[in-house]
Structure 1
Amino acid sequence: MPPSTPPTIPGFAYHRIPVATDVSLNVAVGGSGGTPVVLLHGFPQTHLMWRHVAADLAADHLVICPDLRGYGASDKPAEPAENADPTTYSKRTMAADIVMLARALGYDRFALVGHDRGALVAIRAGLDHPDTVTHLASLDVLPTLDMWDVLHGTTAAVAFHLYLMAQPPGLPEQLIGAAPDAFFGHFLDQWTRDSESAAIPDDIRAAYLKASREAVPSIVADYRASAGIDIEHDLTDRESGNRLRMPVTVLQQDWGAALGFDAAARWAAWATDLRHRTVSCGHFMAEEAPAEVTEAVRDLLTRTP
């Protein structure tokens, strides 16, 4: 029986674009005209999480959906075994990848939408490249510093994976690699509001699990950076007063109430032009509530940078 064809976003063209030394990204590009919009996926997903939103936005925008470095079909550079370079999967490095990707496609300015890990990359891109990122949307994540600040006590158990993957190289990779489908599948199940819904159909789920199985070391390295060098970069910005100067839209579940913090206030410290609202779906909102996400992105793009 021949192998099944991997799922794609219908109507989008696929490319491999070099963005750094020995690093090329897998990217789906569709649509034309309007403000270019780059969509960055989260964990444990690939660019396919944007399949509904991307198809809608492509009616009047150029839409660019890459797999982040270390994920999906993009390259997965290894962390150096000795004298480890913590910048390999820093959000600063991953943000620079996206800027280079857009330039390779002919765009010096673009709107940026990120979910989960992709949102952390988008935030860093907005802080580091304010003249490049025209608009920014973040789906269901807090900036790195705030994420660590609000996790405490038994409520932090919901984010056990953050602590596991923050450990030095070796143990987390071994533990996750021993049962990758169980590990990554746990989040696909637990973070979906309605586990019986068709938000993540079988072929997409299989693609996510396959991609994650093949990327355990790089996924762990991405998370490890968020417990180290990413904090350093965020602290520097906080101390210097660097903020997101473009229009910012944030969509989040109301987990701030559950964990005892004001998510909108946390975000207001980082963005000068902020629209923050909670949504009623689960974590994978681009797949569970794509119309609501698309509407929010379209509203964002109407705001004057």
Structure 2
Amino acid sequence: MTPRISGFEQQRVPVADGVELHAAVGGSGSPIVLLHGFPQTHLMWRHVAADLAADHTVIVPDLRGYGASDKPADPDGTAYAKRTMAADVVALAGALGHERFALAGHDRGALVAIRAGLDHPERITRLAILDVLPTLDMWDVLHGVDAAVGFHLYLMAQPPGLPEQMIAASADAFFGHFLDVWTRDPGAIPADVRAAYLAASRASVDSIVADYRATAGVDVVHDRADRAAGNRLRMPVTVLQQDWGAALGYDAAGLWRGWAPDLVHETVTCGHFMAEEAPADVVRALRALLAREPARLA
């Protein structure tokens, strides 16, 4: 049996163009939506969601193309644009009765969350980002041999066909590689949860590749337009990251301030899967964000 978040109701919610998202919903109070990363599903939030549900309505979806959510075809390269996926999240919250909500995202979900904050600032009250840089900055800091850490970004950026075939031919080894090398605490992802992640990813190769391909294509176009227009995240933002800046030679907090003037930036000592490796630290940061008063911005 696939693991579930204890006490949460499982729902399928229509969001757009015949696409439905699978979501776990629990708790009561002011709403927060939690978006998972790669190669995971909404289950990555199981510890954090259970804690926050004590005094918040917590909505934990599988992103389109992942887990038990729909996986539409991508004929023109826009079905998995972060703009499209962000619109899904806003529609999901609205369908569940929440016009304004806090939003937290990890990894791929963090890129969706950033786009939601830029495209729908009137809907997002507070924003938490776990272990990514904005798309343009991510591509800028990857260079030389240091870019080897992001080999999967370049593989899945290739035209349709070869990446999907290569990954599908050894899906468990491919997706399992990231579960192994990106964590500093192997026990944080127990066997049943790992099996659920691998099964979900194995069934989603085409849509996962389409998501990554968009980040080397249409997402760059959208982010460049925002940068040129001076569009920034105007809500309170908290960023939790490993110390990639020190490892790769850039100022992570400085890059983030260019996008988010009302910023709290923290580095963590755990691995990439921080909501599973250090859930208490993530809960602390999220609760501090939810209690934070917005800054007065010029």
- Give the structure-2-normalised TM-score: 0.98
User: In structure 1, what is the equivalent of residue 43 of structure 2?
Assistant: 48
1:179-208 CA-to-partner distances (Å, cap 9, x unmatched) read 00000000000000133xx10000000000
Partner SS, residue 294 of structure 1: helix
3-state DSSP of counterpart to 2:236: strand
Q: After the TM superposition, which residues 1-305 of structure 1 pair with which residues of structure 2 at under 5 Å, given as runs? A: 5-33=1-29, 35-80=30-75, 85-195=76-186, 198-305=187-294
CA distance in 1, matches of 2:193, 2:252: 31
- Partner secondary structure for residue 64 of structure 1: strand
**One-letter amino acid of the counterpart of residue 53, structure 2:** A
3-state SS, counterpart of residue 272 of structure 1: coil
Separation in 2, partners of 1:55, 1:65? 11
- Please identify runs of 4+ aligned residues in structure 1 that moved more than 6 A: none
2: CA distance, partners of 1:164 / 1:261: 24
RMSD: 0.6
Shift of 1:22: 1.7
Inter-partner Cα distance in structure 2 for 1:68 and 1:194: 25
Deviation, 1:304, is 2.1
Q: Give the residue type in structure 1 aligned to 2:98.
A: Y
| CA distance in 2: counterparts of 1:6 and 1:190, whole angstroms | 24
- Structure 1 stretches of 5 or more lacking a match? none
Q: CA deviation at 1:261?
A: 0.5
**Helix, strand or coil: the match of 2:39?**
coil
Please state how far the C-alpha of 1:270 moved relative to its aligned partner: 0.1
